[in-house]
């Protein structure tokens, strides 16, 4: 899994939005400690969390499973643009046959678990998909053979309020192990001066 932060809103934008309510722009220190304290006080401590929606983050997320992609779809206050299987399955079509011990080659396409039997069956599913593609069946129909472990990537945009919710829920020990790793990686890839807004939510 690889996370790249492509874009983030400067803290001063959120502070300015909050100061709009009281017309207290003259008290701003342009995203400095006073503005940071204001955002935390109003957005977190006073629970006026709608103000945090002015902070937006865009991540490029690579190497997650389609099982995890399904989990992401449950977080509706976010936008995602996903690598298309319709146009990209040709990369698998050109591969040599996969055998059960082809773990190194298979990891290019699959997210492995800590259960050997599950990984072995995923490789078999990968080979079955390759055979379907080689037979000339269109990607639109062949993709119905995709295993849940098949890797994908996406651009994901989310505001700070929704990201707090995501990190709080998905860093919990009851969450899918892969999405716990994602929650931790997202937190670690936030700008240093933004992480304080999420410290009370991260559980790993």
Instruction: Name the active-site residue from 19, 130, 161, 170.
Output: 170
Active site residue 170: yes
Number of H helices, E strands in the chain: 10, 4
Q: Tokens at residue 54, please? A: 């002015």
Residue 151's φ and ψ, nearest 5 degrees, are -75, 145
Nearest to 140 by CA among 97, 89, 94: 89
Q: Please report which residue ranges of the chain form alpha helices under DSSP H.
A: 11-22, 33-39, 66-72, 85-88, 90-93, 103-106, 116-134, 139-142, 160-170, 177-189
Distance CA 194, CA 154 (A): 23
The set of catalytic residues is: 170
């Amino acid at each position: 899994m690889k996370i790249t932060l492509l874009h983030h809103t400067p803290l001063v934008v959120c502070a300015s939005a909050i100061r709009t309510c009281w017309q207290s722009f003259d008290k701003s220190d342009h995203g400095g400690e006073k503005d940071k304290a204001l955002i935390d006080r109003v957005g977190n401590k006073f629970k006026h969390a709608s103000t945090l929606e002015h902070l937006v983050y865009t991540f490029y997320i690579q190497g997650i499973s389609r099982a995890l992609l399904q989990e992401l779809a449950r977080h509706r206050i976010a936008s995602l643009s996903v690598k298309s299987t319709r146009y990209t399955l040709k990369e698998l079509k050109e591969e040599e046959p996969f055998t059960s011990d082809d773990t190194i080659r298979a990891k290019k396409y699959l997210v492995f678990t800590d259960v050997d039997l599950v990984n072995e069956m995923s490789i078999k599913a990968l080979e079955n998909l390759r055979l379907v593609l080689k037979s000339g069946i269109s990607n639109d129909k062949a993709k119905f053979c995709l295993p849940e472990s098949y890797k994908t990537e996406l651009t994901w945009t989310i505001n700070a309020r929704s990201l707090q919710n995501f990190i709080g829920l998905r860093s919990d020990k009851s969450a899918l192990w892969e999405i716990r790793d994602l929650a931790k990686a997202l937190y670690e890839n936030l700008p240093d001066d933004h992480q304080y807004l999420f410290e009370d939510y991260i559980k790993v």
